[in-house]
Amino acid sequence: MDLNFSAEDSAFRDDVRAFIKDHYPVELHGKIEEGEELSKEDFLKWHKVLAKKGWIAPAWPKEYGGTGWTAVQRYIWSEETAAADAIRLMPFGLTMVGPVIYTFGTPEQKAKFLPGILSGDDWWCQGYSEPGAGSDLASLRTKAERFTGDDGKEYYRVNGQKTWTTMAQHADWGFFLVRTDAAAKPQEGISFLLIDMKTPGITVRPIITLGGEHEVNEVWLEDVIVPVENRIYEENKGWTCAKFLLAHERTGIAGVAASKRGVERIKTVARNELSEGAPLLANPFFKRKVSELEVDLAALEYTELRTLAGESSGKGPGPESSLLKIKGTEIQQRLTELALEAAGHYGAPYFRSFGEGDNEHPIGPDSAHRVAPSYFNMRKTSIYGGSNEIQRNIIAKMVLGL
Ligand SMILES: Cc1cc2nc3c(=O)[nH]c(=O)nc-3n(C[C@H](O)[C@H](O)[C@H](O)COP(=O)(O)OP(=O)(O)OC[C@H]3O[C@@H](n4cnc5c(N)ncnc54)[C@H](O)[C@@H]3O)c2cc1C
């Protein structure tokens, strides 16, 4: 992949930069920089702007609503959005189930589900994990029994429990892995169902994370009736869709451009804001940690670029998605560790000022307020999308042939 920008690429970058400057919602400014918790409305505001412009799904084929950008243009796009501290959109529709639907779905399924993903009208959640079926996902037990309804149509009756379901409290639809053949080998008895989250029998219960946020949930399914036409691909072949989706999910988790922006932010803080006496960035130990992070990030960026180049020549993400996931999430976690170090005592999570009527306002510089919750929150990254230990197993098998 040639990274010397052509005149067209430079012009494209200028267009993207100008568009973000003019159209990124003013009310969202500063939210990423301050590490604020984002609401569904926040995500939707930016989503709608991009959907209107036709820039919402750069990775999709053009015929389904993609941009038709080259790999270099997609790289420029992610660099520019990260540099502008723009919100990273929720992946469940755009990065995860969308590609499954346009790859494995029927024409009717594509026509029914893809427009809502692109417009942002339908929010999705992922019903894969269960208590007892996380790393060993194929052992999942949520059961879907097929029957013919009084109207003569075919349905599944779904019973079971999913867990860690991110944003299920806001989701209109969920994509679920369910067991449709208990007698077959684990991977061969699973189907991929799209379920309307308003269907009777679905209960969503919050799980509050270490950082105090409501991000994940338990989802209970009790006699949930789902039309068979909502199944993607063949019955008992859902594992094929599941694996395809996971490769897309893992590639998307790497977040290189956002981490590059994160390094810049830490350097600014360590150079100025929190320094009492000599700037922290002048401390050789701290400086070395930042430099090592930058070196690892540069190496990761090149791996991501190779994957992007492969994708643009029609190669789907393979085991390199596991590599991107491990290194990307390790770097994200190291960033939050450095941010905590840079914040020093101002980063203590419950260190509040106790002035009259001022209990809610943490003391210290703005950059320090969300550092600890963000540190706690980012512990998740080495677990979700398949834990990093499992990714190492995949690399050992698929790349090293062990
Ligand atoms: C914040 C967050 C959001 C999530 N969102 C979603 C979501 O939206 N939808 C969804 O379906 N799931 C979601 N998950 C679930 C996530 O995919 C699982 O947590 C993950 O796959 C690990 O499964 P587990 O939690 O059951 O841990 P376990 O599988 O019980 O693993 C426990 C530990 O043992 C290790 N381990 C297990 N097996 C092996 C092995 N063979 N070799 C080496 N080490 C092993 C693991 O690496 C881990 O450290 C989310 C998780 C988190 C933390």
pLDDT (tens digit per residue) in 317-338: 778 889 999 999 999 999 999 9
Mutate which of 96, 124, 141, 164 for ligand 1? The one with the most ligand atoms within 8 Å of its CB, which is 164
Residues 133 and 62 in one domain: no
CATH of the domain at 202: 2.40.110.10
The verdict on 263 and 335 lying in the same domain is yes
What is the whole-number distance in angstroms between the Cα of residue 217 and the centre of ligand 1?
14
Q: 83 pLDDT band (50/70/90 cuts)?
A: very high
Q: How far apart are CA 58 and CA 56, in angstroms?
A: 6
Alpha-carbon torsion (193, 197, 198, 200), positive or negative: positive
User: Is residue 95 domain-resident?
Assistant: no
Q: Is residue 205 part of a domain?
A: yes
pLDDT of 276 reads 61
Predicted pLDDT of residue 312: 67
| pLDDT given for residue 351 in this prediction | 46
CA-proximal residue: ligand 1, atom 13 (nearest):
164
* CA 60/CA 114 separation, integer angstroms: 11
Domain boundary among 180, 206, 237: 237
Q: Whose CA is nearest to atom 22 of ligand 1?
A: 134
In a domain, 101, yes or no: no
* Together in a domain, 141 and 228: yes
Residue nearest to ligand 1 atom 52, measured at CA? 384
Please give the backbone phi and psi of residue 291, each rounded to the nearest 5 degrees, phi first: -65, -45
Query: Same domain, yes or no, for 228 and 268?
Result: no
Ligand 1 centroid–CA 201 distance in Å is 26
Q: Is 128 within a domain?
A: yes
Mutation pick for ligand 1 pocket among 37, 96, 135 (CB with most ligand atoms within 8 Å): 135
122-157: pLDDT as tens digits: 999 999 999 999 999 999 999 999 999 999 999 999
Vertex 78 angle, CA 77 and 81, to 5° = 85
Name which residue leads in pLDDT, 254 or 56: 56
Q: Which of 37, 97, 125, 129 to mutate to test the pocket of ligand 1 (most atoms within 8 A of CB)?
A: 129
256-259 — which CB contacts under 8 Å span 24+ positions? 256/78, 256/297, 256/300, 256/301, 256/304, 256/328, 257/78, 257/79, 257/81, 257/82, 257/83, 258/82, 258/88, 259/297, 259/300, 259/328, 259/331, 259/332, 259/335
Query: What is the percentage of the chain residues whose pLDDT exceeds 70?
Result: 93
Statement to judge: residues 229 and 258 lie in one domain: no
User: CA 49, CA 361: separation in Å to the nearest integer?
Assistant: 32
Is the minimum distance from the CB of 216 to ligand 1 under 6 angstroms? yes
14 vs 178: CA distance, rounded Å: 46
Q: How many domains does the chain have?
A: 3
User: Both 230 and 276 in a single domain?
Assistant: no
Residue 390 near ligand 1, beta carbon < 6 Å? yes
Average pLDDT estimate for 75-90? 93
Ligand 1 contact, 326 CB (< 6 A): no
Instruction: Kindly give the residue spans of alpha helices, DSSP state H, lying in 254-387.
Output: 256-268, 284-312, 320-343, 371-377
Of residues 368 and 88, more confidence is placed in 88
Average of per-residue pLDDT values in the chain: 90
Are the C-beta atoms of residues 22 and 34 closer than 8 Å to each other? Answer: no
Whether residue 165 has its Cβ less than 6 Å from ligand 1: yes
Residues 296 and 392 in one domain: yes
114 pLDDT exceeds 90? yes
User: Does the residue 133 lie in any domain?
Assistant: yes
C-alpha to C-alpha distance for 393 and 5, rounded to whole angstroms: 37
Binding site membership of 383 for ligand 1 (Cβ less than 6 Å): yes
Is pLDDT at 358 greater than 60 in this prediction? no
Q: What confidence tens digit (pLDDT) does each residue in 208-248 have?
A: 988 778 999 999 999 999 999 999 999 999 999 999 998 87
Structural domain of residue 196, as residue ranges?
A: 124-237
Least-confidence region, from 23-32, 51-60, 303-312, 377-386: 303-312
